[in-house]
Amino acid sequence: MQKMVNEFSLAYTSSGQGAPVVLIHGYPLSRQIWAPQAAALADAAHILAPDLRGHGDSQAVPGPYSMDLFAADIKAFLEALGVAEQIVLGGLSMGGYVAFAFLRKYPHLVKGLILTATRAAADSEQAKAGREQTALLAREKGVQAVVQGMLPKMFAPTTLEGNPGLVMQIKDVMESTSLDGVIGDLAAMKERPDSTPELSGISIPTLIVHGAQDAIVPLAEAQAMQQAIPAATLQVIEGAGHLPNLENPGAYNQALRQFLARLDGKQP
Ligand code: MLT
């Protein structure tokens, strides 16, 4: 499905009924990563998974991109759909950076937060230099060259060995990201602000989910967020790296289901 928002065509998946749960993908990915959640949680919630601009089936518009711009796109998307109630907002990795921006801009619209494989801190100087190098590589050699270096770091060793089908599927998803999308993401991630000072002020229920073997965002980042956010619980997903929702969907879906039930008051 597609909607015109902020002068581009945004693709999205909508499944299930109930309270709206908006799931934002990471870099350089698309809404395809939420397929197991869209299928398994459709009886518990209305799952909405957009493709950010430049990703998946959304239009590949040139940059500059920023986390605030992505957040404004999500707000416009909700308005275009006529979603008037508060949402549960989930983001994976860069999607988490977008979720922090959304929460800063539109705190009244969010009643629960799901932070997967993400961090609150801004880029270090070294990470910023790495973003520039990656953008150069993308411009000179294309998105495929970027994916080649990043793909093995996305998964736990057990996934790399035991689930080559998933690895190939995610390779395709990553390679289908537009050059505008990859370059836009890299600049937006490099410039994103530090969300750490805001963590202690997050008063809504928050679920943090992290793969035990995440090689891109260390587990310590998730533990630090849990300590700083007053109403946060942390679920560590075994046998998973940077994509716990895909590498161990059973455990991931169960964590979300319990969180959503607790938010609904259906469980203590
Ligand atoms: C992501 O998975 O969205 C990115 O790798 C996050 C990052 O590079 O900071």
- Ligand 1 atom 7, closest CA: 94
CA of 264 to the centre of ligand 1 (A): 31
Q: What is the pLDDT along the chain (268 residues), one digit of tens a residue?
A: 999 999 999 999 999 999 999 999 999 999 999 999 999 999 999 999 999 999 999 999 999 999 999 999 999 999 999 999 999 999 999 999 999 999 999 999 999 999 999 999 999 999 999 999 999 999 999 999 999 999 999 999 999 999 999 999 999 999 999 999 999 999 999 999 999 999 999 999 999 999 999 999 999 999 999 999 998 999 999 999 999 999 999 999 999 999 999 998 866 5
CA distance 93 to 117: 5
- Give the residue from 248, 209, 251 showing the smallest Cα distance to 226: 209
Mutate to test the pocket of ligand 1, among 93, 115, 150, 192 (most ligand atoms within 8 A of CB): 93
CA distance 112 to 44: 15
Q: 93 CB under 6 A from ligand 1?
A: yes
Positive/negative CA dihedral, 71, 72, 73, 74: positive
Buried b (16+ CB within 10 A) or exposed e, 56-81: bbbbebebebbbbbbbbbbbbbbeeb
**Beta strand residue intervals within the chain, DSSP E:** 2-5, 8-15, 20-24, 46-50, 87-92, 110-116, 206-211, 232-237
Burial of 158 per CB tally in 10 Å (0-12, 13-18, 19+): middle
Question: Please, are residues 72 and 53 in contact by the beta-carbon 8 Å criterion?
Answer: no
pTM: 0.98
Q: Is 36 left (phi over 0), alpha (psi -120 to 50) or beta?
A: alpha
3-state helix, strand, coil in the chain (%, to 5): 50, 20, 30
Q: Is 93 left (phi over 0), alpha (psi -120 to 50) or beta?
A: left
**204 φ, ψ (degrees, to nearest 5):** -85, 155
User: What per-residue confidence (pLDDT) applies to 267?
Assistant: 60
User: What per-residue confidence (pLDDT) applies to 265?
Assistant: 83
What is the atom index within ligand 1 of the atom nearest the CA of 26? 3
What is the atom index within ligand 1 of the atom nearest the CA of 118? 6
What is the atom index within ligand 1 of the atom nearest the CA of 123? 9
User: Which residues make beta-bridge pairs with 91?
Assistant: 24, 115
**76 φ, ψ (degrees, to nearest 5):** -65, -35
CA of 50 to the centre of ligand 1 (A): 17
